[in-house]
Amino acid sequence: MNHQHNKTHSTTTTKNLVRRSTSIALICAITGLLGCNSTSQKTLYDTTDNQPLYAQSASAPSSNIKAGNKLSGLAVVTHKGRQVMAIASEKTGITLAAINSDSQALNTQVISQLKGSYELLDSRQTSQRQWLITADAQTGQPVIFSATQDSDLISATATALRETRFQTDALCLYLDKQNNLFAFMLDGYGGGEMRWLWDARKDSLVDITVKQLSLPPGSESCAVDDASAALLVAEEEFGVWQYPAEPEGAWQRHLVAAVKPWGKVQASPIGVKAIAPYHFALFSEQGAAVYRLNNKGTHAEVVTPVKLNAQEIADVAWLNDKLLVLDEAADTIVSAPLAAKKIEKSIATAKQQLAPLPAVYPTVTAKAQTPAMQRRGDAADDPAIWVHPIHPEKSLVLGTNKKWGLFVYDLQGNETQAIATGHINNVDIRQGVRLAPNKKAQDIAIASNRSDNTLTVYTLNNGHVKQVANIATGLNDVYGVCLYAPNKQALYAFINDKDGRFKQYQLIENTAGIDANLVREFHLDSQPEACVANDATGELFIGEEDAGVWLFDANPTASISGRLIAAVGDVLVADVEGLGLINNALGNYLVVSSQGDNSYAIYQAEAPYNYVGSFRVGLNSDNQIDGTSETDGIAITGAALGEHYPQGLLVIQDGFNLMPSQPQNFKYVSWQDVINELAK
Ligand code: CA
Ligand code: CA
Ligand code: CA
Ligand code: CA
Ligand code: CA
Ligand code: CA
């Protein structure tokens, strides 16, 4: 099928299919060509036993929903405790119809109708609420219905969502583990957008673009399996791709079903529909099959083919022992028997056999964010916080751009200074520290500079940052750095190499300015990055990315052996990245960026370093700030920094800056919010 050709002749593919099938039927009627008649069998999937998926028979039960309505979307929804069909139509709007499931015939009964002209349909429900999304067939504008569980979806007000900049070709919903509702809107050419529609935290409708989508041309149907958070996209002539449905994280795809010769699917897919946890139906013009996804959504296998008798399948839905099929050519709903027991068994198998999904943790939101980096890709890396000694609300955040230099931001997230230092990776800071007991107290920041493998030193004069020295390290590939200032009477810098070597320097002041003396060396077996020292106790915490968190003695004359206090596993998912220490009225904690599952783990910062809990940072609809993911560096202070951060500030590097899609940045989180959320 030539996509471009279709587009120029029809506003939607489904309409086009009806036209095409009608014309094929007409040609068949005139010519009586072989292969046109109903005995030609089409199979969607080449099963091992060569059983055809589609066998034409004259007795497919069809609904008494009247023809001539231009039906174009089908879903199963709950109405007064009962599962019923919802059907979108260009002529009759949205129809709710009950199904008498005892009968062999598809005995349907219209419950209510909402006038309008609609096409495309998807639905979601929780124990509290249900939603239906469709699109105005005339304007293409997406429309959502939301109702509490005990009220009628049809009597619920239809809310027109913001118009898309394209004719919506496919619509599908995603309900996350927190009951936030999202929609994917596809333009059929490979573009589209992800919208956040329902904010579960506020229990209210929002309508915010999370990100722009980039899909293959000819992506004309989508569905989300909420269980595995997998967005499934059917690409015509090719197959079904899986993308992550979660807003945060890398936009990566996996081919889960492909047409011949790449896979076993025999006909170009028309649509994909999520029908049960880990299960989706893939349908072609005349055939369908039910697939089971693995729990990462990266692979799928056929559970059961479905024998259908329909001329043009536009949509499907699963109800009890039937696959309901919207036959666009016949303009009615037909039903196909579905091996329901097989699917139930397969769902049970999936739930038993699949590896555990990423843990669900309490979620907080960011209060502010910095501007996007002026470089695309992985640019922002590590922050540090400078606390204003008199006016805490005037405190500053330093953030590295590892492709450019150092940025300084205020607590509102505005950029106040930019220093083109070079490719600096990590940064750390100490305030009011003397480099020797007889020297004046000063504020000093350091950074690991990958441009020349140096330790870059900055001074801060009333918060104004100045680069003052670049100290050669002799390392080949500098990576992480941190500072240690025992009693504020001396200052030590730790800098590591990706190969695991650490060098500890004492910063000194001489007539030429700030310099450093190497005082100790040690190493870890594999790549380290973040480190953080406790000035009060002399403890040095180091992250070995694939292994966990190590504890060393920060003092230059101490032993060079450490001990692993938190290993990579269920809680810490590699890489172990940013580390931070906080000690205030809310507790004495070590915070660790668990980059592999976009979470932050909290440990007691003193022996026995028990695990306290984990959290994530999610979407904030009030300030339109996205959550955080794939975090490298973090920084934390327990100081009260004004009304938004009464018990301290946590700054988090965000690998994927969304709402809208932009280069990376840093997010500000109130530590009080984290503790509150963990206490719930
Ligand atoms: Ca990164
Ligand atoms: Ca830092
Ligand atoms: Ca990493
Ligand atoms: Ca790293
Ligand atoms: Ca983000
Ligand atoms: Ca953002």
Q: How many whole angstroms from its chain centre is CA 177? A: 12
pLDDT band with cut points at 50, 70 and 90 for residue 105: low
Q: How far is the CA of 366 from the centre of ligand 5 (A)?
A: 10
Contact 593, 631 (CB under 8 A): yes
Cα–Cα distance measured from residue 680 to residue 675, given in angstroms and rounded to the nearest whole number:
9
**Three-state secondary structure call for residue 203:** coil
Q: How large a percentage of the chain has pLDDT more than 90?
A: 75
Proximal ligand: closest to the CA of 371 = 6
pLDDT band with cut points at 50, 70 and 90 for residue 24: very low
Q: How large a percentage of the chain has pLDDT more than 70?
A: 90
**Phi and psi for 674 in degrees, rounded to 5?**
-65, -50
pTM here is 0.90
**Three-state secondary structure call for residue 349:** helix
Q: How far is the CA of 248 from the centre of ligand 5 (A)?
A: 6
**Phi and psi for 304 in degrees, rounded to 5?**
-155, 135
Is the model's pLDDT at 12 over the cut of 50? Answer: no
Q: For residue 157, how many other CB atoms are within 10 A of its CB? A: 8
Neighbours of ion ligand 3 (CB under 5 A): 575
Residues 6+ apart with CB under 8 A from 596: 573, 574, 575
- Enter the tokens of residue 169: 């070709």
Neighbours of ion ligand 4 (CB under 5 A): 529
Sign of CA dihedral 197, 378, 574, 454: negative
Nearest CA-CA partner of 656 in 385, 363, 252, 298: 252
Q: How far is the CA of 377 from the centre of ligand 5 (A)?
A: 13
Question: What is the reported pLDDT for 62?
Answer: 77
Q: How far is the CA of 630 from the centre of ligand 1 (A)?
A: 7
Which residues in 439-461 are b (16+ Cβ under 10 Å) and which e? eeebbbbbbbbbeebbbbbbbbe
Residues 460-467 have a mean pLDDT of 97
Structure confidence by residue, pLDDT tens digits, 274-332: 999 999 999 987 689 999 999 888 899 999 999 888 888 999 999 888 899 999 888 88
Nearest CA-CA partner of 54 in 289, 319, 323, 321: 289
User: Where is average pLDDT lowest: 32-41, 60-69, 649-658?
Assistant: 32-41
Question: What is the reported pLDDT for 67?
Answer: 65
Proximal ligand: closest to the CA of 650 = 2
Cα–Cα distance measured from residue 350 to residue 347, given in angstroms and rounded to the nearest whole number:
5
Question: What is the reported pLDDT for 394?
Answer: 98
Residues 348-372 have a mean pLDDT of 92
Structure confidence by residue, pLDDT tens digits, 169-189: 999 999 999 999 999 999 999
Question: What is the reported pLDDT for 104?
Answer: 59
Question: What is the reported pLDDT for 59?
Answer: 53
Q: How far is the CA of 250 from the centre of ligand 5 (A)?
A: 10
Strand partners, 566: 549
Structure confidence by residue, pLDDT tens digits, 384-400: 999 999 999 999 999 99
Is the model's pLDDT at 347 over the cut of 50? Answer: yes
Residues 109-136 have a mean pLDDT of 93
Question: What is the reported pLDDT for 60?
Answer: 64
Question: What is the reported pLDDT for 286?
Answer: 66
Residues 6+ apart with CB under 8 A from 419: 405, 406, 407, 408, 458, 465, 467
Geometric angle at alpha carbon 212, from 210 and 214, rounded to 5°: 140
Residues 366-386 have a mean pLDDT of 94
Q: How far is the CA of 657 from the centre of ligand 5 (A)?
A: 4
Q: How far is the CA of 577 from the centre of ligand 6 (A)?
A: 21
Structure confidence by residue, pLDDT tens digits, 203-241: 999 999 999 999 999 999 999 999 999 999 999 999 999
pLDDT band with cut points at 50, 70 and 90 for residue 43: very low
Q: For residue 602, how many other CB atoms are within 10 A of its CB? A: 22
Is the model's pLDDT at 547 over the cut of 60? Answer: yes
State the maximum Cα–Cα separation within the chain, in Å, rounded to a whole number: 104
DSSP 14: H
